[in-house]
Amino acid sequence: MPGDSFCAPRLAAGSGTCQTSTRTGTQVINKLFDSVEAAVAGIHDGATILIGGFGMAGMPAELIDALIAQGARDLTIVNNNAGNGDTGLAALLKTKRVRKIICSFPRQTDSYVFDSLYHAGEIELELVPQGNLAERIRAAGAGIGGFFTRTAYGTPLAEGKETRIIDGQGYVFEKPIHADFALIKADKADRWGNLTYRKTARNFGPIMAMAAKCPIVQVSHVVELGELDPEHIVTPGLFVKRVVKV
């Protein structure tokens, strides 16, 4: 498994750089990429990828399309569901380059791509209750080694996991979900990678940015440094590696 080097910024203009100012000689942080193709470069075969979105709300569709074109395979995908229709995440599944999906809501009226793959034995499913899914991702970003929860205790979802009785109640131990990459959608960003979101499109984005080695973000608007109200910034640039405007 490659180390963090696969997400190191490339020193080329418009490709997420740390440039040296000719006036001050200091390093200038710039996480902006010119294209979605450049933003997803380096996603390797066998990667674990967190993909934001709650259904179509907050789905980073353009980054997913770029990942499809890029060609990485044998992927493990973490998302709330397993795709809608035949676009976005469903289109990625349709390429048969996803080995496993970890999600909480795999089946619905328009999940026919996943349904077909699953019944044919062409994709592995790890079903996780939605609250547990969110907390497992959050735990990875917070450096927590795992947690006990009552959710799923005594059900098939707890099979093979450590259980305990605490104060007379049954609990199951859940491990954090770490990832190599995250593909998320935000509303606004500056070149440092500070992010704001638009309403429910925020969903899993902030915790996924914290849980991945290389968070990649598509945004609708790029603004100058200082334009984002610090009180409105949800994801600090510390947790973002690459930003692309779509």
Q: Is 202 left (phi over 0), alpha (psi -120 to 50) or beta?
A: alpha
* Radius of gyration of the chain measured on its C-alpha atoms: 19
- Mean pLDDT, residues 114-134: 97
- Mean pLDDT, residues 87-92: 96
- Encode pLDDT of 216-233 as tens digits: 999 999 999 999 999 999
Q: What is the model's pLDDT at position 13?
A: 43
Q: What is the model's pLDDT at position 7?
A: 73
Domain range annotation of the chain: 4-245
Q: What is the model's pLDDT at position 83?
A: 92
Is 125's pLDDT higher than 90? yes
The least confident of 27-31, 75-79, 89-93 is 27-31
Contact 92, 64 (CB under 8 A): yes
- Encode pLDDT of 14-62 as tens digits: 566 555 555 655 678 999 999 999 999 999 999 999 999 998 899 999 9
Homologous superfamily, domain 4-245: Glutaconate Coenzyme A-transferase (3.40.1080.10)
Which has the higher per-residue pLDDT, 5 or 141?
A: 141
